[in-house]
Structure 1
Amino acid sequence: MTVTHGFHATMTALPGKGGELVGLLLGAPSLPHPDCPVFLVSRSAGDPDTVHVTEGWTSEAAHAAFFATPEAAALVARLQPLLADEPRYADAVPVGGKAAF
């Protein structure tokens, strides 16, 4: 499967809410989505309220279509109250590597 669209997001949770933010992200409806083969959630070692998400999608259209769904809107609505500020995004298309959990 070819990934042609992706990004890296950094989110800062309200103090002490990093674990809750990670929990919601690890239950995200994009995880099992067939057009999202890359969905990696990470935490800062120095600040557990800083959370990073890397996503890779088969296309920008697939990503946009997914985020137009009620499931995606519900996730965003649940994440917003946990955030200390707006997420920061960087263009990043995953091209390979390894992750095993």
Structure 2
Amino acid sequence: MTVTHGFHATMTARPGQGDALVELLLDAPVMSHQDCVVFLVGRSASDRDVVHVTEGWTSEEAHGRFFASEVAKAYVARLAPLVAGESRYVDEVPVGGKAALD
């Protein structure tokens, strides 16, 4: 499947909420969405409250449609209280690589 839209986001959890933020992200509704073909969650090795997400979508339109859905809005409402301040986004389109996580 081709990825034509994506980004890398860095967010800082409220103090002590990094684990809760990671847990919620790993249960994101995009994990089962067919148009989201890359969804990786990582965290800073030096600050456990700093969390990174890389997403890759089949299209910008598919991403927009999903985030306009009621499921996505409800999810973002659950996520927002865990995040301190503004998240930083970088335009990035994943093109390949490897992830082997368990």
TM-score scaled to structure 2, two decimals? 0.97
User: Is residue 2:88 matched to residue 1:88?
Assistant: yes
Which runs of structure 2 are paired with 1:72-83 in the superposition (5 Å)?
A: 72-83=72-83
- The aligned length equals 101
Secondary structure at the aligned position of 1:2 is classed as coil
- Matches of 1:24 and 1:73, distance apart in 2: 14
Does 2:33 match 1:55? no
Please name the residue that 2:36 is paired with: 36
Query: Cα distance, 1:96 vs. partner?
Result: 0.2
Structure 2 unmatched runs, 5+: none
Aligned amino acid, residue 72 of structure 1: A
Residue 75 (structure 1) shift: 1.1
Structure 1, unmatched stretches of 5+, are none
Letter in 1 for 2:48: P
Structure-1 separation of matches of 2:25 and 2:74: 12
Q: What displacement does 1:72 show?
A: 0.6
Q: After superposing the two structures, state which structure 1 stretch, 42-51 or 75-84, moved more.
A: 75-84
Aligned-residue Cα RMSD (Å) equals 0.5
Q: C-alpha separation between the residues in 2 aligned to 1:36 and 1:81?
A: 24
Structure 1 residue 32, shift from structure 2 partner: 1.1
CA separation in 1, counterparts of 2:42 and 2:18? Answer: 11
Which residue does the alignment assign to 2:14?
Answer: 14
User: For residues 45 and 77 of structure 2, what CA distance do their matches in structure 1 show?
Assistant: 26
Counterpart of 1:40 in structure 2: which amino acid? L
Name the SS of the counterpart of 2:72 in structure 1: helix
